[in-house]
Amino acid sequence: VQTNWAKEDFEKEVAFLQTTADETGWPHSIVGYADMTVDDVRHQIDRLVKYKLLRGVRMQLHWHETPAFRFAASADQVVDPKVRANVARLRDYGLSFDLQLFPAQMKDGLTLVGENPETNFILTHAGMLIDMSEETKQAWKAGLRTLSAAPNLYAKLSGLGTFVHRNDPALIAYIVDNAIDILGSDRLMFGSNFPIEKLWTSHAELIKAHREAVAKHGAAAEADIFWNTAEQVYRPV
């Protein structure tokens, strides 16, 4: 589930989620926001680790030539010295990092992931395939292959309707097939990206499309994508 609070309220977001979990039993783990561009992120992390469900940290570092798709200040922010230093500090807390990049950034992404072998990285939205043109598909697959060289890199099958604004079973199946081929099912996990996906589909239809895409790969792949990988990486309780 996606919960985006204002950046300055990063601790309030995690506190709210922890309170919700304490009262309802959901969620089972939390990935909180921290600003990895500051001089020393430990001042923020120290405020977050007191919440027992915290498992990782996120910051959107994706940059694209299309301004509407852009979030990071620059394409190479993923290897900015401050970002690299702060990501390296996550090891001391045992926290993972949710990494959001476009394919053109994945070579730099491998630098960040590769220099932190003790930290798990989760590639958000399976690397963000923005359309089904042949050039775009080839660039996306090449980017995934680049990142696959790092064994501590996982990918989340989430937000696959982000660029098409619909629940598209054919698109989902294409991404699932290639992600399994490149990374293996044991490095993939499903993510609903709700409530954002609610803009164009229902939770039931979203789950159905992903289950159908994964089913043809067998029971072991289903267990990995819908349970095992997330359990290993995010350690839900």
Best CA proximity match to 58, nearest among 113, 121, 117: 121
**Could you say which DSSP state residue 203 is in?**
H
Contact 173, 212 (CB under 8 A): yes
Best CA proximity match to 224, nearest among 163, 164, 157: 157
**Bridge pairing between strands 96-100 and 153-157:** unpaired
pTM for this predicted structure? 0.96
Please list the pLDDT of the chain residue by residue as tens digits (237 residues).
Answer: 667 788 899 999 999 999 999 999 999 999 999 999 999 999 999 999 999 999 999 999 999 999 999 999 999 999 999 999 999 999 999 999 999 999 999 999 999 999 999 999 999 999 999 999 999 999 999 999 999 999 999 999 999 999 999 999 999 999 999 999 999 999 999 999 999 999 999 999 999 999 999 999 999 999 999 999 999 999 998
- Give the type of residue at 56: G
pLDDT tens digits, residue range 54-77? Answer: 999 999 999 999 999 999 999 999
pLDDT score recorded for residue 6: 87
The b/e string for 109-122 (b: 16+ C-beta within 10 A; e otherwise) is bbebbeebeebbbb
Contact 157, 178 (CB under 8 A): no
pLDDT tens digits, residue range 128-142? Answer: 999 999 999 999 999
pLDDT score recorded for residue 1: 62
Rounded CA-CA distance 73/62 in Å is 9
pLDDT score recorded for residue 2: 66
Rounded CA-CA distance 89/29 in Å is 20
Contact 158, 195 (CB under 8 A): no
Length in residues, the chain: 237
User: Which domains occur in the chain, in start order?
Assistant: 7-234 (3.20.20.140)
Q: What percent of the chain has pLDDT over 70?
A: 99
Rounded CA-CA distance 185/36 in Å is 29
pLDDT score recorded for residue 201: 97
Instruction: List the structure tokens of 27.
Output: 């969620």
Helix (H) or strand (E) holding 154: strand 153-157
pLDDT score recorded for residue 33: 97
